[in-house]
Structures are given as C-alpha cells and as structure tokens.
A and B are shown apart, each in its own frame.
Chain A
Amino acid sequence: MTGTASRVELPSGIRQHHSAPFGRVVGSELGWVLRRPRNLLALLGLAALPVLIGTVITITGGPGGGSGLFAAVVGNGMVLPVLSLMLTQNLLLPLIIAMVAADGLAGEAANGTLRGLLLAPVGRVRLVVVKALGVLMMVLLAIGVVVLSGVLTGLLIVGGDGLVTLSGTTLPLGEALGRVALAAGWCAVQMAAVGAVALAISSTTEHSLLVLIATVGALVVFGVLEAIPSLDWLKPVLITTDWYSISDVLSDPIRTTDLLSGLWRAGCYILLGFSAAVARMATKDT
C-alpha cells in the first residue's frame, strides 16, 4: 500500500535535476497494482463469470427464445465474450476500476504516502500519468481476462465454429475474433473513461471508499436518469447511454452510429477526468 513512495528517494534538500526514470516509476506502480490481493481476486472472479454463463446456458439450453443476447449465445460461442462484456461493464468492471483508482491517489493520501510522492522528484503531471497508467492497465487486464475467458469458454463449452451475427449472417472464426476484439477495444475506452473520472474523484479526497461510492453511485444515478422519459435531453451526456450498443458489433454490417457517439462521449469523459485530476494535483499543497 505504501506504493510508489517507497521506491523513490526523497530529495535531499537541494533540488535534483535528474528525476526518477519514468519507466521505473511506471513499472513500480504497475507492480503495486498487480500485487494487491484484492485486484488479483477481482480478475479471478472476472475470469469465472463467462465460464459460469457459458456453462449454465449450455446445460439449460438457453432462455428458450427470449430476447437479448442470452438467446443468441446458444451454440454460438463467439457471442459469449461480448455478452460477458456487456454484463460486466455496467457495474462490475467500473467497480474494479474505481477500486484501483481509489488506491492510486486517495489511498496514498490516506496512508500519508501521497505527500512523499508530491515531494519526490516526480512531476505532478507525471504522477497523475503514472497513476492513470496503473488504472489503464487494470482496465486492459480486466477486459482481457473477461474476453479471453469468454472466447475459450465459447469455443470449448458453448461450441459453434464462426459467429452467427444478429443479422443472421455467418462469419468465419477469424472475422468473429475481430468483432470480439472490436467490442473489447470499445469497452476499454468506455472503462478508461470511468477510470479517468474515478481518478479525478480520487485526487480530491483521502477516503478510498468515497471514490468507490461516488463512481458506482454516479453510474446507478445515470441509469435512473436514463429511465426518466422527460429527461431525454440529458441522455447524450450520460456515459452509460450507449453501453448496451456494444452488441451492435454483432450485427452485420456493424451498426456504427451509436458505437461512434459512445466513443466520442468516452473520449470527452477521459479528457475531463484526466484534466480534473491533473488540475487538482497541480494545485494541491503538500
């Protein structure tokens, strides 16, 4: 938990001009993220989820003609990774990402180690970049685990070669994997947006729990706002608006409209969150 601080020497009175090598600082941060047992447990849980869904659907034969992606998974394994992403990105992935972002700045502040970092010969922008990279790595890891587990479960347990798209066309395995990669990339951008905002919240507080509550709470509130018809005008601003359109990668040709607007929105959130985190750190007194 003492994080990066223990790795970086404190300056000795005189301001040193050579700062710690960037690669080493990043490596140390990533190492810390990976060494936290709760992060590893989270990844393990994520890996289990697609296996669980795939197995249950294969055993029960699916929801029997219901709507949604669940019905599409039966005998059509390549849908499973996308379904798993769709199910996890609503709360589970944001929760895990917020957890890492909370450890990054608020956790360090709570331990008193952030002060050391702020005094250390690491620029403040750099410090936020390093923390952001830690969050980003967790985003990629988490999504990678879900997708990998989903693809393997899809191939081994659910079965089916290639992908029957929602439009009824059949894609060969290679192209199907391409679609899955597309969904994963899109989801990564969305989750990076959540991470950036969580990091911004994390920079303002020293209570890790607050970061979790604020991030996940905001997502829940967004979901509620979306459901109120008279607040339709608010929808374009809510990050969650297009999250269900991740299944659009499964239609043929791909429905791009919502995916692209989702990307633009996530980009805005990333810029917003990262800038806010930098602004807060730059003005923070030690």
Chain B
Amino acid sequence: MRRRNIALTASAGIAAGALGLTSLALPAGAQNPRLPQVSADELVASVMESDPPALAGRVTVHNELGLPALPGTGETGELLSGGDKSLRVWYDGQQRQRLSIPSGNGETTVVDDGNTVWKWDSAQRTVVKHPNSEETEVERPEPSTGAEPGEIAQRLVGKLRETSAVRVDGTASVAGRDAYELVLTPKPDERTKLREVRIAVDAEDRIPLRVEVNANGSSEPALRAGFSELSTGPQDAELFQFTPPENARVRTAEKPDTTKPDTPRSGRSGITSPRIEGDGWDTVVLSRLPEGTMSSPSGRKTDDDEQRGTGSTGPRAMAERVGSPISGSWGHGWVINSSVGSAVLTSDGRVAAGAVPQQVLIEALRDS
C-alpha cells in the first residue's frame, strides 16, 4: 500500500517534470491587450513627440530574408544571415547608450558615453575609439529634428499615404508590454516584393517595440526585430562608461563606424552618391562602384538589407559566388534574390537594389 503511494507520487513527479519541459517548448500565449482606439496619424505623432525613456532590454532579430551568408560583413552580416540573433541594449534616456552583441562565445560591446563611442571586440581583443558619436543610434524611433513633431508626423503620414495604406491594426503584446500595431501596406500598383510592414508601438511610452517585414507569398515575417525583454527606468551610470582593459589594443578610428548593427528601420538619410529611381515601395537605388575598388564606400549603407550583399568585401567576387548570372540589352551581371528584395551588380560596376522583383531593377538599369 505504502509502495503504491510512493509509486503514485513518483509518477506525479515524472508528469510534473515532463510538463515543466513542455512549458519551455510552448510559446508564451500572451493575449492581445484591449487599448483605447487611436488613429494612425495620432499614433505616428505621439511616436515623434515622445522621447525614448531610459531603458534596458534585449532585442531579438529573427530573419528569414533568404540572404546567402556573406563573408566579411562582421556582426551586421551575422545579424542578417538568418536565424535568431539577440542583442542587449541600454539607454540612459539622453544620449548615452550601450549595446552588447554576442558572437560565438564572445561578444561585441559598443558603448557611447556621450563623447566617445567605444567598440570592443572580445575575440580580437581590440577597442576601436570613435571620438564623435552620432552613428550608434539603434533604438531611437525617428531622427529628431527641430520642427514641430506633430507637423512632421502629418507630413510623414501624408507622404506614406501616397504609396501605402497606413492604418492601426489591432494591438499586440511585445516583451510583456501593450502595443498598437501600425501597419503599412503597399498600394496595389506598387511593384514590390513586400506585403506589409508592421510596427508595434508601445501604448504607454510610444516607442517602437517591434518591426515585422512581411514578404509576398509567406505567412511568416521575413524579418522581425523587436524587444523580447524591456524594462524602463533609470540605468546604472557605470554601464555607459568604458575603460579599455589593460592588455587590449586600442586604436582610434578615422571615420565614423559603419559596422553598426542597425535595425531595418533606421531612416534613409544621408545618401548622396547613389541615385534613387522611383518612389515608395518600388524605389530602386542605383549606384556605381568606384573604379577598381573592391570595397565599397560606407555611404551606401541604407536600410535595404540586400544592398549589403554587394556592400562589403570584394563585391564582384561575392556576387559571382552568391548571385546568378543574368544578361540583357543593358549588359551583363549577377542578380541576388532574397525574399524581400533583389540586387543586381553589372559587370561594369553598376549596382541596382530595392525591395522589388528583379525585372524592376533591370528596367531601371536599362533606363539609366
């Protein structure tokens, strides 16, 4: 009798253990919260008005872009090369921030202490110093300019409405916080590979919490970047200081760091040399690689991920390796297709890229 009780209790223990394990495998079923209605204009305006609070969080990037693994692109390439990546971010509410990106069994840490940006690479044990800090923004919602935020928001939404349907589509729970889902859908006449872009905006602090890029022909997002953990509140000031360790090599960089790990929504700004063809979702970026240079200038880094495909080391060699050759009246080149866009590199050094099917790129190349 007693033995039977023991056996029963033990069986219950087995069941509990098995249940505990399955609980790990099941996704946390968060219900979509109920939130007061808000219009798209109001939502965008409130995002522009709000300053991101001091926060500590973990950003997870889930990526099914279908990009080939690109050698030599550093941690940016690693973030984009498929699968799940997560990085930790801290922000003090003003200007100082810290990022830590795991890589293998090492880590890359970027600390912006207000005056200097330090970039530490644990595998190489090097510290790179950038005296002026402007390039490491990661979770800033929008580049803040001097103008009235509400007005900018209206203009922005107005501009977006020319090519897309902008609406607030329900709510979501992101990193345990309630959020609105702002959805941008391309108008039917936009020739793009993208189906929609969903941005989850925190209901309380009005900061973007998650971005999802959905491509045509797939129900799973091609790219999802967002907080998986987030806590707001004052952060330890020590986090935003960096003293290089004793035996590390420290060098000062001449130009701003370009290997910043950016989320796909950092603004498209500061591109001077490449030409922009078209507008809206079927924008094509045309550019020309400098003669004889195998590494491209940093200026072409925009938010279109596929451009990085032709970006970093040895564009031609890389295109030959990962792209498929095409040719037409416009010349001869290689095309790289991913689920959200495509890029063409021609044998005479012209580059076209965009979130569009390759025909659009070829048309743009022909016209140029």
A residues contacting B by CB (< 8 A) are 65-69, 71-72, 74-75, 86, 124-125, 160, 164, 166-170, 233-234, 236-237, 244, 247, 251, 253, 255, 257, 261, 264-265, 267-276, 278-279, 282-283
Contact = CB atoms under 8 A, between A and B. Distances in A.
Given A268-B20, A272-B17, A274-B13, A257 B229 contact: yes
Contact of B25 (A125, A233, A244, A275): A233
B58 A257 contact: yes
A124 B6 contact: yes
A268 B21 contact: yes
A168 B113 CA distance: 14
29 contacts: A65-B123, A67-B123, A68-B105, A71-B106, A71-B122, A72-B106, A75-B247, A160-B247, A168-B248, A169-B242, A237-B21, A237-B22, A247-B105, A257-B58, A257-B229, A265-B21, A267-B20, A268-B17, A268-B20, A271-B13, A271-B16, A272-B14, A275-B14, A275-B17, A276-B14, A278-B13, A279-B7, A282-B7, A282-B10
B11 A275 contact: yes
Contacts of B125: 65, 71-72, 74
Contacts of A71: 106, 122-125
Given A65-B125, A72-B122, A282-B10, 18 more contacts: A67-B105, A68-B104, A68-B106, A69-B106, A71-B124, A167-B120, A169-B242, A169-B243, A236-B21, A247-B105, A251-B107, A265-B21, A267-B20, A271-B13, A272-B13, A274-B13, A275-B11, A278-B9
Contacts of B245: 164, 168-170
B280 interface: no
**Of A251, A265, A273, A275, most B-chain CB atoms within 10 Å:** A275
Nearest to B238: A169
Nearest to B24: A236
B246 interface: yes
A168 B7 contact: no
B11 to A, nearest CB: 6
B11 A279 contact: yes
Nearest to B124: A65
Contacts of A234: 25
A278 B24 contact: no
A279 B127 contact: no
A237 B25 contact: yes
Interface in B344-365: none
B100 A167 contact: yes
Nearest to B26: A236
A270 B18 CA distance: 11
A111 B108 CA distance: 55
Contacts of A247: 105
Interface residues of B, number: 44
B7 to A, nearest CB: 5
B244 interface: yes
B122 A168 contact: yes
Nearest to A65: B124
Given A68-B104, A271-B16, A278 B122 contact: no
B73 interface: no
A39 B242 CA distance: 46
A271 B123 contact: no
B109 interface: yes
Nearest to B104: A67
A124 B9 CA distance: 13
A264 B24 contact: yes
B24 A265 contact: yes
Contacts of B7: 279, 282-283
B102 interface: yes
B127 A168 contact: yes
Given A125-B6, A166-B106, A269 B14 contact: no
Nearest to A83: B105
B88 interface: yes
A279 to B, nearest CB: 4
B223 to A, nearest CB: 17
Contacts of A261: 24
Nearest to A253: B239
Nearest to B119: A168
Contacts of B248: 164, 168
A267 B24 CA distance: 12
A163 to B, nearest CB: 10
A152 B104 CA distance: 27
Nearest to B236: A253
Interface in B93-152: 100, 102-107, 109, 118, 120, 122-125, 127
A167 B22 CA distance: 33
B120 A282 contact: no
A124 B10 CA distance: 12
B3 interface: yes
Nearest 8 pairs of A and B residues by beta carbon: A275-B13, A272-B17, A168-B120, A279-B10, A268-B20, A271-B17, A236-B24, A166-B107
A255 B14 contact: no
